[in-house]
Amino acid sequence: MPQMAPLNWLTLFILFSIIFIIFNTMNFYSFLYSVKSKKSSKPSLSYNWKW
C-alpha cells in the first residue's frame, strides 16, 4: 500500500537519527583528555637557550 510508505520513511528516519546520535555521543565520550594543571601562576623567567 503506497499510502503507508511515509510511516515507514518516518520510522527509518527516526531509527537512523537515533543510531547517529548514539554513535556520535559514544565517540565523543570515548576519549579521556588529560587535564593540564598549572603548578604556579607566575611564568618562569629562566630561559635556557641552546645556542
pLDDT at 17 over 90: yes
Helix ranges (H only) for the chain are 5-29
In whole angstroms, what is the distance from residue 11 CA to residue 22 CA?
16
In whole angstroms, what is the distance from residue 43 CA to residue 24 CA?
39
- Using one digit for the tens of pLDDT, what is the confidence trace for 27-39? 988 877 777 776 6
What pLDDT shows up at residue 2?
A: 61
Average pLDDT, the chain: 80
- Residue 27 Cα distances to 10, 45, 49, angstroms: 26, 41, 42
Q: Which pairs from 37-44 meet CB under 8 Å and 24+ separation?
A: none
